[in-house]
Amino acid sequence: MMSTFTQILYQIIYSTKNREPVLLQPHRSRIFSYMAGIIQNKNCHVYIINGVEDHIHIVTSLHPGISLSNFVKDLKIGTSYFIKNENLIPNFHGWQEGYGGFTYSRNDRQNLIDYVKGQEEHHKKVTFLEEYMSILKEHDIQFDEKYLL
């Protein structure tokens, strides 16, 4: 009998609604821990979750029975409920509608983890929009800038 085996490493990126800078410390770590729980409950593996005031990065491998779009939808719904229910961020209006989902080689895993770990330092020099467009270009994804605003 054949089993299902996959090795797909994702970096998932999405921002707060209207890129509002509301994900402030110390609440960020509680939100990321809650997200990690959702991911683990879906039998997925989380390598790292990090971000700054207006967006997050998740490095994960998904269980073969879970689609990327449903995974992101469940994360957004679950964390929105958690943030509002715990009254962590009173002016949190939700997450942006879309997301970026990018695949990487297993050989890139540690560099990707290190990159996500360094988000606060990285964003002292680069805006979210600059970073996001760079990642889209790196993955050869065609886009219209008006849909990134």
Contact of 101 with 67, CB cutoff 8 Å? no
55-103 confidence digits (pLDDT tens): 999 999 999 999 999 999 999 999 999 999 999 998 999 999 999 999 9
* Contacts for 75 with CB less than 8 Å, ≥ 6 apart: 35, 38, 39, 58
- Give the global pTM: 0.94
Other C-beta atoms lying within 10 Å of the C-beta of residue 15: 24
Burial 80-96 (b: 16+ CB within 10 A, else e): eebbeeeebbeebeebb
Domain count, the chain: 1
**Where is 1: in which H helix or E strand?**
none
For residue 127, being part of any structural domain is answered with yes
For residue 55, being part of any structural domain is answered with yes
Domain of residue 78, CATH code: 3.30.70.1290
Report the candidate in 58, 65, 74 with the shortest Cα–Cα distance to residue 119. 58
Domain that holds residue 114: 9-141
For residue 36, being part of any structural domain is answered with yes
9-58 confidence digits (pLDDT tens): 999 999 999 999 999 988 999 999 999 999 999 999 999 999 999 999 99
For residue 39, being part of any structural domain is answered with yes
For residue 94, being part of any structural domain is answered with yes
